[in-house]
Amino acid sequence: MKAIWNGKVIAESDQTINIEGNQYFPFETVNKEFLIESNTHSVCHWKGEASYYNIGVNGAINRDAAWYYPDPSSLADKIKGYVAFWKGVQVTQ
C-alpha cells in the first residue's frame, strides 16, 4: 500500500492494518520529512484519543491529514505505532 499526496509518497508498506476502511501504516514506513506536528486531537468511542499530523509537501500544507493513536484502548492496541491518512491523501496498492 502507498499513501500519496501532492505527488510524493508519504508512506509505503505491505504491513498495513485495515480498520473501518482506513489503512494504518506502520510508523517506521512513513516518510517523516513530510509530517508536521498538529495540536489537533479527537476521540473515538472505542479506539481512544487520536493525535494528528499536518502533511507538508513542496510548500503546500494538508492540515490534520494524518492521524494516530499514541495510547489506544485495549480494543485497538494493534494500531499502536501506526498512522492513517485522509483529506485527499490517496491510498492505493
Domains of the chain, with CATH numbers? Answer: 2-92 (2.170.150.40)
> If we measure between CA atoms, which residue out of 61, 17, 16, 72 comes closest to residue 38?
61
Mean pLDDT calculated for residue range 39-58: 98
Q: What's the confidence (pLDDT) of residue 25?
A: 98
- Whether residue 10 contacts residue 4, with contact meaning beta carbons closer than 8 Å, is answered with yes
The C-alpha cell that represents 15 in the structure block = 504491513
Give CA–CA dist 91/55, Å, rounded. Answer: 14
pLDDT in tens, 73-84: 999 999 999 999
Going by C-beta distance under 8 Å and a sequence separation of 6 or more, which residues neighbour residue 58? 6, 7, 8
Average pLDDT, the chain: 98
Q: Write down the pTM of the prediction.
A: 0.96
Q: What's the confidence (pLDDT) of residue 44?
A: 97
Mean pLDDT calculated for residue range 61-75: 98
Q: Which amino acid type is present at position 30?
A: V
